[in-house]
Amino acid sequence: MLNTDINYWIVGSMLGGTKKGDIFQECIERGYWYCWENPDEQELTPKIKEMRSKFGSISPGDRIAIKKQLGTGKNASFMEIRAIGVVNVVDTKEWRVYVDWLIPQRRDVKQEMKRRVPKKGPGGITSISGPYKNDLVNSEWLPQIFCI
């Protein structure tokens, strides 16, 4: 059973949306997740402002999942959950979220979960999606992502 008092976040690990920019292994090995390599050099587009606002809403104790979108844009009806964890610290200076990764654990960095889950809503899932609550709207969908 998922907690109804915390937020659930789904995040990406493909910087620039490409396999070449995949930071998944680094995130698991180092116990964090981040969205920008050089955040101070980012052009502050409306999309970046929105993602930074969401980033600032992540709190210790929240749950976080790294996803990989399967397909592109409106054709992406599924995503693959690669890892789930619990947020420890949110560092807004370096734009990093420090995480206790539950699956995979650091020693098993090559063992992605590869849990296929239907995507919610139209279009793609952004680099930071959420916060989601375990409520009537999400009570069937969130456990597919976050239950161990």
Residues 87-135: tens digit of each pLDDT: 999 998 888 999 999 988 766 666 778 899 998 765 556 789 999 999 9
Residue 106 has a pLDDT of 65
Residue 92 has a pLDDT of 87
Q: Could you state, in order of their start, the residue ranges of all structural domains in the chain?
A: 8-146
Please give the average per-residue pLDDT across 138-146, as a whole number: 94
Residue 141 has a pLDDT of 93
* Tens-digit pLDDT profile for residues 10-33: 999 887 666 667 899 999 999 999
Q: Which of 16, 100, 20 is nearest to 64 (CA)?
A: 100
pTM: 0.87
DSSP for 64-97, please give it.
Answer: EEEEEEES-GGG--EEEEEEEEEEEEEETTTTEE
Residue 50 has a pLDDT of 84
Contacts of 7 (CB under 8 A, 6+ apart): 57, 58, 59, 62, 63, 130, 131, 132, 133
H/E stretch holding 46 reads: helix 46-55
Mean confidence (pLDDT) of the chain: 85
